[in-house]
Chain A
């Protein structure tokens, strides 16, 4: 597709439920990032992939969060046993460059997760 695609757009989960959020980056983009954006805040880094390798997961808030990109394209962010504080917009971004610090990121529209 022309841009970064994320699904679902909205997800409502009961506390304790597992969720999986999908990101389809721009075709050919090597780098993929996940960000968490709480209401009224800027995005905060979660994790970074270069192709299929997860090179940085320092932003993942707990071991309930897990991300993968097994074939170097589509990525999935999984949150186990969701808690209310996990409610946020989860943004995916991709970049052609092979560096973590590239500013030329293309963001998806995000998945808004609400945990009840």
Chain B
């Protein structure tokens, strides 16, 4: 099935650094979502975006819905150890089901 492309595939950063990741699609979406998945657990919704150009924050997380409706970005400021995990973007178009990205694995170096 179709999956959205996420980059980078993995990131190794030091605690306290800011993180940026993005997600691109060949198709447009009218809802963009960002999830975090910890090892051995299911994804948990972090942020939902409903409008092109929208910028939404949730604590240290900020996400943007791209103007073209084909991309989205997630930033994490001042990373902490519990930010470790895999981040997935997901999109919804019309009445179609949720389509997930390929994931970005975040590792924090002590």
Contacts and interface: CB of A to CB of B under 8 A. Distances in A.
Interface residues of B, number: 25
B88 interface: yes
B51 to A, nearest CB: 14
A105 B97 CA distance: 12
A59 B96 contact: no
A91 B1 contact: no
Contacts of A40: 103
Interface in A70-116: 91, 93, 100-101, 103-105, 107-110
A42 B33 contact: no
Contact of A101 (B3, B88, B97): B97
B33 A103 contact: yes
A41 interface: yes
A30 to B, nearest CB: 16
B43 A43 contact: yes
Contact of B3 (A41, A48, A59, A100): A41
Given A40-B103, A42-B103, A107 B1 contact: no
B67 interface: no
Most chain B CB neighbours (cut-off 10 Å) among A41, A48, A103: A103
A101 B45 contact: no
B3 A107 contact: no
B16 to A, nearest CB: 28
A91 B88 CA distance: 15
A44 interface: yes
Contacts of A101: 31, 92, 94-98
Nearest to A56: B97
B66 interface: no
Nearest to A48: B97
Contact of B95 (A4, A44, A100, A107): A100
Given A103-B48, A109-B42, A42 B100 contact: yes
